[in-house]
């Protein structure tokens, strides 16, 4: 098997490609022949050692993947060799094979391609968790999605639309906004050239109901100020780097709420609830209520370059690595 290895924390160009013996399954585990590994911004943070959870090197990055089971350990029930599955294990996905506890594996429904399955777990579970568990998005509400052409951004558009909300997408270029409109956004704000708060209030007089923020930096305060009476701001991530400080009078005014979203930690500590959440997402995909896009495909060996692209804002939508 072939895998990408982080031998020391740092930039993704330091990642190495290693060949190793094929994997075997211990009791309770399955081996997956990886068909595609989803690329997530957090993978670059794990490699840099700059995320709140730190994995000491050496490790193989890749927080999610999909493929076909090639070996099943003793005691595993419900899975057989040949099953198409997706896995979300935090690490290990950037490889041609991975071994993982069967409890972290889910069957991929018929009709869902393995590249799409590899790319949807984190982004869709985060968006679904945000809008159905941390807050409740109602039909007819207006949702402003920042970083709208990124992984979490596109999933948030799809989920908000599926819940009956109207979406305003905000992103840094017209090409990115075009992607967001294909995903279902009804209106667009180019926050490189337009004032986010002023334009959001123009598009949604009185303010928007909800802001989904995976970007951080200066946009968080502008998002907060875009909210109407009783509006909710979901803090999801800080892809732009700086962790913002916000004026709390803007939360007090108009009875707004700022809601933290830590899907990853929640999923880790509530495995049963996460299985229910993922099943809801997959059911909605099977029913055609949610429509995740086909991801861009890059060879596994380009993992370092792809993560550099993520860090330097060059990726659009989701990307998968193909072993
Ligand atoms: N809280 C949770 O449970 C949770 C779960 C998943 C992800 N996250 C976090 O959410 C954030 C987004 O993740 P993702 O996988 O959606 O990432 P992504 O696909 O790379 O998208 C990030 C978006 O952020 C925007 N951005 C603004 N400044 C940027 C910069 N300096 N560098 C890179 N992107 C920048 C980009 O859009 P524009 O160019 O249009 O601005 C880009 O589309 C990350 O911080 C991630 O760790 C949190």
188-233 confidence digits (pLDDT tens)? 999 999 999 999 999 999 999 999 999 999 999 999 999 999 999 9
Q: Which residue lies with its CA nearest to atom 4 of ligand 1?
A: 236
Q: What is the pLDDT of residues 2-30, one digit of tens each?
A: 999 999 999 999 999 999 999 999 999 99
Stretch 265-283: mean pLDDT: 96
Question: How far apart (Å, rounded) are the C-alpha atoms in residues 321 and 303?
Answer: 7
Stretch 141-153: mean pLDDT: 98
Segments of the chain assigned E as strands: 2-5, 16-19, 29-38, 64-72, 84-88, 97-101, 105-107, 142-146, 166-171, 187-190, 208-213, 227-235, 257-260, 296-299, 319-322
- How far, CA to CA in Å, does 249 sit from each of 209, 221, 226, 258? 18, 11, 14, 12
**pLDDT tier, 52 (very low <50, low <70, confident <90, very high otherwise):** confident
**40 CA distance to ligand 1 middle (Å):** 9
Question: Which of 61, 237, 260, 296 best tests ligand 1's pocket when mutated (most atoms within 8 Å of CB)?
Answer: 237
Stretch 286-308: mean pLDDT: 97
* Cβ–Cβ < 8 Å for 32, 128: no
Q: Tell me the backbone φ, ψ of residue 218, rounded to 5 degrees.
A: -70, -20
287 contact partners, CB below 8 Å, separation of at least 6: none
- pLDDT of 89 strictly over 90: no
Question: Which of 215, 281, 308, 310 best tests ligand 1's pocket when mutated (most atoms within 8 Å of CB)?
Answer: 215
**105 CA distance to ligand 1 middle (Å):** 25
Q: Which residue lies with its CA nearest to atom 8 of ligand 1?
A: 237
Question: How far apart (Å, rounded) are the C-alpha atoms in residues 126 and 160?
Answer: 12
**Percentage of the chain modeled with pLDDT above 90:** 98
**156 CA distance to ligand 1 middle (Å):** 12
**146 CA distance to ligand 1 middle (Å):** 9
Q: What is the pLDDT of residues 151-181, one digit of tens each?
A: 999 999 999 999 999 999 999 999 999 999 9
- Global pTM? 0.96
Stretch 231-242: mean pLDDT: 95
**78 CA distance to ligand 1 middle (Å):** 35
Instruction: Return the ∠ at Cα 67 (arms to 303 and 54), rounded to 5°.
Output: 50
Atom of ligand 1 nearest to the CA of 317: 19
Question: How far apart (Å, rounded) are the C-alpha atoms in residues 183 and 197?
Answer: 22
Atom of ligand 1 nearest to the CA of 235: 1
- Cα–Cα nearest to 211, from 242, 246, 241: 246
47: its two tokens: 């490699």
What residues does ligand 1 touch, defined as CB less than 6 Å away?
40-42, 122-123, 126, 147, 149-153, 171-172, 176, 214-215, 236-241, 261-264, 310, 313, 315
Rounded to the nearest integer, the mean pLDDT of the chain is 97
**13 CA distance to ligand 1 middle (Å):** 20
Question: Which of 48, 93, 144, 147 best tests ligand 1's pocket when mutated (most atoms within 8 Å of CB)?
Answer: 147
- How far, CA to CA in Å, does 235 sit from each of 134, 216, 272? 11, 8, 24
- pLDDT of 303 strictly over 90: yes
Q: Which residue lies with its CA nearest to atom 43 of ligand 1?
A: 150
């Amino acid at each position: 098997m072939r895998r990408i290895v982080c031998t020391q924390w740092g930039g993704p160009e330091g990642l190495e490609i290693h060949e190793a013996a094929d994997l075997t399954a211990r009791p309770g585990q399955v081996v997956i022949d990886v068909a595609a590994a989803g690329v997530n911004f957090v993978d670059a943070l794990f490699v840099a050692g700059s995320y709140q959870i730190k994995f000491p090197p050496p490790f193989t990055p890749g927080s999610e993947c999909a493929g076909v089971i090639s070996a099943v350990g003793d005691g595993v029930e419900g899975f057989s060799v040949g099953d198409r599955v997706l896995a979300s294990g935090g690490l290990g996905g950037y490889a041609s094979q991975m071994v993982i506890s069967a409890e972290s594996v889910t069957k991929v429904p018929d009709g869902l391609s393995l590249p799409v399955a590899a790319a949807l777990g984190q982004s869709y579970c985060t968006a679904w968790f945000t809008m159905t568990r941390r807050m409740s998005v109602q039909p007819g509400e207006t949702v402003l999605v920042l970083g709208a052409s990124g992984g979490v951004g596109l999933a948030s558009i799809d989920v908000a639309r599926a819940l009956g909300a109207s979406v305003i997408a905000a992103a840094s270029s017209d090409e990115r906004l075009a992607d967001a409109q294909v995903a279902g956004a009804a209106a667009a704000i180019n926050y490189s050239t337009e004032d986010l708060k002023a334009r959001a209030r123009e598009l949604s007089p009185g303010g928007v109901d909800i802001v989904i923020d995976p970007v951080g930096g200066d946009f968080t305060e502008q998002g907060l100020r875009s909210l109407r009476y009783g509006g909710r701001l979901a803090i999801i991530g800080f892809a732009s780097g700086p962790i913002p400080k916000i004026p709390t009078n803007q939360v007090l005014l108009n009875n707004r709420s700022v809601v933290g979203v830590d899907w990853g930690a929640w999923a880790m500590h509530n495995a049963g609830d996460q299985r229910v959440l993922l099943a809801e997402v997959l059911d909605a995909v099977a029913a055609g209520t949610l429509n995740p896009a086909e991801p861009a495909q890059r060879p596994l060996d380009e993992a370092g370059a792809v993560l550099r692209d993520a860090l330097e804002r060059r990726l659009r939508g989701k990307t998968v690595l193909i072993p």
